[in-house]
Amino acid sequence: MMSYQDEFLLFWEEVKKSAQEGRFAKLTVAKTIGKPNFRNIFVRPVYSENEFKVLLKLRYRSRETEDKEDEVTLEEAFEVIKPHLKNHFFSVLLFTTTKDVTFKINKKGAGSISEKQPTFSDVILAQKDLE
């Protein structure tokens, strides 16, 4: 049986491929475990001149903690998301213009990937919130 880490790497290959092919619409990290201060993590595409960048948004439950937004590379987003899997979050949803791909971790800690029809037909670029 594959560990969820291996399965997540396969899932992340799909994420990278969708970005390279211009199909990446959005990534949502959800299904919190317990009641962490984290509510979810959103990743949306922002195209910069020379490379694919994403807007990484960390949303918090408590009003005291301000949501964080950063423009990062996909690799940097991966590094932020990875440590939260299984600790805070059970699922990651990739929305592309050709299909939706869901990564889930079950109670035994095993990962699985499933696909369904796309929710988004177009890629809508994120606008960074103006300070």
Nearest-angstrom CA–CA distance, 126 and 131: 15
Report the half-sphere exposure of 113 (CA within 13 A, side-chain side): 18
Single out the residue of 79, 75, 96 nearest to residue 28, CA to CA: 96
Task: Provide the greatest CA pair distance for the chain.
Answer: 47
Pair type for strands 38-47 and 111-116: unpaired
Written as tens digits, the pLDDT of the chain (131 aa) is 568 999 999 999 999 999 999 999 999 998 777 776 778 899 999 976 778 899 999 998 888 889 999 999 999 999 999 998 988 889 999 999 999 999 999 989 999 999 999 999 998 888 765 44
**Where in the chain are the domains?**
4-116
Nearest-angstrom CA–CA distance, 1 and 110: 8
pTM of the model: 0.89
Residue 68 CB partners (closer than 8 Å, separation 6+): 56, 57, 58
